[in-house]
Chain A
Amino acid sequence: MAIVHEFEYFKPGSVDEVVKLLSDYGKDAAVLAGGTDLVVRVKDGFETPKAVVDIKGIEELKRFEFKDGHLFVGALVTFNELIDSEVVRKNFPVLWEASKSVASMGIRNRATLVGNMCSAVPSLDSGPAVLLYEANVVVKGPSGERKIPVLDWFLGPRKTALEKGEMVVGVSLSVLEKRHGGAYIKLGRYDGEDLAQVGVGVLAIEGNEYRVAFCAVGPKPVRARKIEAILSGKELTESVMEEAMAAVVDEISPITDIRATREYRMHMSKVMLKRALRAAVSRLKGEGPEYGTRLI
């Protein structure tokens, strides 16, 4: 398990120091938070940074605050912290449900929401949730702070809108104005921890408004605008559901790999969309199934 590749390790005390290091090293720097993604990639030789910048010593990045209807999730907030938060469970249940599906206890005690979003792997569990809640990625760089709407954040497999010298300090989510129900369903090969072969996230918002997002079935997680248009303003009848499911094929481009075939992914995307929508509507009404229940 020895790592041959050598690098320098930094543990700065402020965001400004991080920005300086990232500007100096550019592509040769890697930000280290939980390490559950980075360390494996360094071991496998897929990442060979010259500088590893450990951000765990920066207090402000631990900020996990709900104020005036806005939730700020700092870069160091872990998935288990999200799960333990009543605020998240109540106000952003799809993010809560997605967090529960990530890996296992020992990983979730380290893995961060921001780290997941920065990895931008096509199968990331947080992808659909942050797209549905239209979060903003709060970034700090050499030219100061900026907010990147999450809809502009994911650019491709392991590619984000982050520019040289920039780091993500947190993600902010705003509580929806209207009541909503939602669901995140993840396809795995068995009942234990797995990377999503398909991920479907759905919001059913009061007034027959819907939001739909997919992950693991394209180079990046996406909002399914066509499906949302079909559903918009309508009651979820059988025929509306069928129309929505038929549109899935236009929204996603799954591949065949060692985890699943294109055919199964396409099929499951439809099935999972259907079940997610039904669950979301039911939860909007205040009925079950409880968030966290297995739907497939």
Chain B
Amino acid sequence: MEELKYVGKSFTRLDERDKVTGAARYVDDLDFGPNLLYAEIVESPYPHALIKSIDTSEAEKVPGVVKVVTGKDFPYRFGLYMHDRYVFAQDRVRFIGEQVAAVLARNPKAAKKAAKLVKVEYEELPYVLDQMEALKDNAPIIHPDLANYWHVPWYFPKPGTNIAHWRKVRKGDVEKAFAEADFVFEDTYRVPRYAHCCIEPHISVALYDYSGRITVWSSSQSPHTQRNLFAQALAPLGISHKDIRVVVPYVGGGFGGKAGVSMEILAVALATVVKGHPVKVRWTRAQEFYNTYMRQALVSKIKVGVKKDGTIVALKNELYWDAGPYAEYGANVVNAAGLSATGPYRIPNVWIDSICVYTNKPAAGPYRGFGYSETHFAIESHMTRVAKMIGMDPVEFRRKNAIRRGDPVAYGAPMNPNGLIEAIDKVAKEVEWGKKEESKDPNKVIGKGFAIFWKAPAMPPNTSSAAFLKFSEDGSINIVVSGMEIGQGYMTVMAQIAAEILSVPIEKIRVELPDTDRNPYEWQTVASHVTWSCGNAVKRAALDAREQIFEVVHQAYHLEKETLYLEDEKVKCKTDPEFQLPLKDFVINGIQTHDGTYRGGPILGRGIFMPEFTTTVDDPETSQGGHPNVHYTVGAGAVVLEIDKETGKMRVLKAVEAVDAGKAINPDLVKGQINGGLLQGLATVLYEDMRFDDKGKVLNPNFTDYKIPTAMDVPKEIVPIIVEVPQPDGPFGARGISEHTMIPAAPMVANAVEDALGIRIKSMPVTAEKVALAILQGKKEVE
């Protein structure tokens, strides 16, 4: 195995200089000229109501106002996996904050002033804010038309109810297994709503020019998917995909919240009524909280059966998800998490019901972890309890039951190569598992908590990535792809892959930000899959370019291609050490032969990657038979938690996390994901706390009262561990890790609290207040 020169090294990020100097441009930094119009949205004050009338006459009179629109101007239903969402509310509103009308004006003040003058008459309808309530027989039905909605074949909505999707997994015979088990334990866990809190709020600018082309600049993880959804949503206008252009500059954080289409549709729709004028819709921080995707809330009723020796024989998991009123994306969270809601364990008998329920809270959708953070809170809390109840060490229990390569997962497909045991062992060692620690402070106790995790990219079976790679006269390279640099370091990783194949140093490689006119297709930058998928496409493009390079050298110099190799930006020959041809000499201009004619021309690499083994064709009653997930990334995490018994305050003394990256193409970037993901996960369990009033209004849509981590909240010590069990079909063995780093945080904290205090808290967040009051009230369990 040759030593890799670029892959596996922590190069400086390609975009770091842009960001450090302030050169990096985000959508709101772009100037659109004096024709720019500003939009202000009129929002619903009710969780569920019929719209009786909208009077825009007063609003239209405000100086500076160009147009006022309402739902009837855009009677379009759309969505990623199901068409259940509206550009503007039509006959009714379904959550507080839903867009009902919009004002377009020459300046933001006029827009805001006019928006307040739009008069909407509502007739309130009964509403439901909790998924369990929404499942009851007498619950108000939020989508009476559910039967008529288009959806992907792997969604199973139940018309006549509030069930947007029901994923059933049935393997083996759980009832028999429970009856025969030595020990069975069941309990319920609750996870509330959470918000992504990207520092850059959502924003979209759209222009419908006089020739009928639409150009959109948005802060998005998914330019091509956005283009596709815009085309679908505006199908009545008959605009071809080629006439919709989505351009994405740098994005200030995504975390899943900028996947698919949320508020961006508004700019596009509004642009169509003011031809020739760019329209900007910039979300406030408050709107960011209540009118973009939130993370679903979950009630998980989980039952596990084990043998005396700790072998898990059966698992039943009933998952009830609160998805808000529009589940076009969120139902896939329910689907993906449902298929894998066993956790990374080998379990022969499995019963999972993962039910996506409509409610009148804001819409929920993709968030880092895609449902796995939520399900793992329940699963990993439960597994630790089961282990302790049968007198087994929780880490030993996990080692014993950890899923291994080749084991069938819940839906029958085989588990990929993985370093789960190695991750467990390394984390346990680093955190000195088994060694009880005492605090010097008599008020404090120290507990340790452990959790393992897995996740597979949740994607349709035919998602793909494509890459072009072109040289310039000086031998530098442009890689043209539509993956999105949302901070994870994707650009740098693509450059490192190309550098390795073509021997061109990183400093001579650019990776271009997406423009759907010019950059080839990428499904979305989600699912932690672009390192793998787009990395493969870039690798193929680089190999394609290399093949062309060798071909032209062969034609010009008659050297056998098998003897050629690339090193230091030159073509060299194993059988002729004298032969050294610099790439820059011919990658544009070709090679001149002995008779003065030329061979070659511009070297242009092309690569496409689409998995050919995935399928969602399965039995809808059991989920057996399909192969919906490409592979799983696994890992383990542990925390050493110091708790003040008087105040309930918890401080992380040490957080350790191991993730199996297959091959860490840039170890620095993997560590960055561990640091960032862990802290984000710890925040969800320790202090992020979304509050609603009794009508479903978000009470804390700001950082004053929804607390995300500051530099003061960093754990005393974080130890990132990279495990590398190669992914056979990954570029250089790599697989994705970015979402995963968040997943173990919540359960490992809950487990540490139990270890320290003997108190089991079964709902999130596990705040200082909850802990302190539990101690005061002498509770052993908190619902």
Contact = CB atoms under 8 A, between A and B. Distances in A.
B769 A195 contact: no
Interface residues of B, number: 34
A259 interface: yes
B404 interface: no
A1 to B, nearest CB: 7
B333 to A, nearest CB: 26
A271 B713 CA distance: 22
Contacts of A2: 107-109, 111-112
B611 interface: no
Interface stretch (A12-20, A141-149, A156-164, A262-270): A262-270
A258 B646 contact: no
B284 interface: yes
B647 A189 contact: no
A84 interface: no
Contacts of A263: 773, 776
Nearest to A271: B646
Contact of A296 (B647, B686, B713, B773): B647
B185 interface: no
B710 A192 contact: yes
Contacts of B112: 2, 4
Which one of A193, A194, A267 has the greatest number of beta carbons of chain B within 10 Å? A267
Interface in A171-223: 189-195
Interface in A248-273: 258-261, 263-264, 267-268, 271
Contacts of A195: 704
B547 interface: no
B105 to A, nearest CB: 10
B287 to A, nearest CB: 11
Contacts of B686: 190
Contact of B709 (A190, A194, A261): A190
Interface in B336-356: none
A164 B147 CA distance: 65
Contact of B769 (A4, A192, A260): A260
B444 to A, nearest CB: 11
Given A2-B112, A189-B767, A190-B686, A264 B709 contact: no
Contacts of A258: 691, 699-700, 705
A264 B774 CA distance: 11
A264 B773 contact: yes
B19 interface: no
A192 B713 contact: yes
A192 B707 contact: yes
A293 to B, nearest CB: 13
B199 interface: no
A194 B707 contact: yes
Query: Which of A3, A190, A263 has the most chain B CB within a 10 Å cutoff?
Result: A190
Contacts of A190: 683, 686-687, 707, 709-710, 712-713
B691 to A, nearest CB: 5
B60 interface: no
Contact of A268 (B108, B647, B700, B704): B647
B695 interface: no
Interface size range of chain A in the complex: 20 to 34
Interface in B675-729: 683, 686-687, 689, 691, 699-700, 704-705, 707, 709-713
B316 to A, nearest CB: 35
A271 B773 CA distance: 13
Contacts of B573: none
Contact of A189 (B109, B113, B687, B712): B687
Contacts of A271: 646-647
B413 interface: no
Nearest to A274: B646
B291 to A, nearest CB: 16
Contacts of A4: 109, 112-113, 116
B415 interface: no
A263 B768 CA distance: 13
Contacts of B689: 189
Nearest to A1: B284
Nearest to A45: B116
B700 A189 contact: no
A273 to B, nearest CB: 12
A284 B683 CA distance: 37
Nearest to B692: A258
Contacts of B700: 258
B644 interface: yes
Interface in B88-128: 107-109, 111-113, 116
B709 A192 contact: yes
Contacts of B776: 263, 267
B435 to A, nearest CB: 26
Nearest to B711: A192
A106 B638 CA distance: 35
Interface string B497-531: 00000000000000000000000000000000000
B710 A191 contact: yes
B139 interface: no
B375 to A, nearest CB: 25
A6 to B, nearest CB: 9
Contacts of B647: 268, 271, 296
A190 B700 CA distance: 16
B599 interface: no
A271 B768 CA distance: 14
A258 B689 CA distance: 9
Given A191-B712, A258-B700, A268-B647, A3 B769 contact: no
A120 B699 CA distance: 23
Contacts of B687: 189-190
B390 interface: no
Given A2-B112, A4-B112, A189-B767, A259 B705 contact: yes
Contacts of B772: 264, 267-268
Interface string B744-775: 00000000000000000000000111001100
A195 B706 CA distance: 12
B649 interface: yes
A80 B162 CA distance: 55
A199 to B, nearest CB: 14
A279 B768 CA distance: 22
A15 to B, nearest CB: 33
Contacts of A3: 109
A189 B699 contact: no
Contacts of A193: 710
Nearest to B115: A4
13 contacts: A2-B108, A2-B111, A190-B687, A191-B712, A192-B711, A193-B710, A258-B691, A258-B699, A260-B769, A264-B773, A267-B773, A268-B647, A271-B646
Given A2-B112, A190-B712, A193-B710, 5 more contacts: A2-B107, A189-B689, A190-B687, A258-B705, A264-B773
Interface of A: 1-4, 189-195, 258-261, 263-264, 267-268, 271, 296
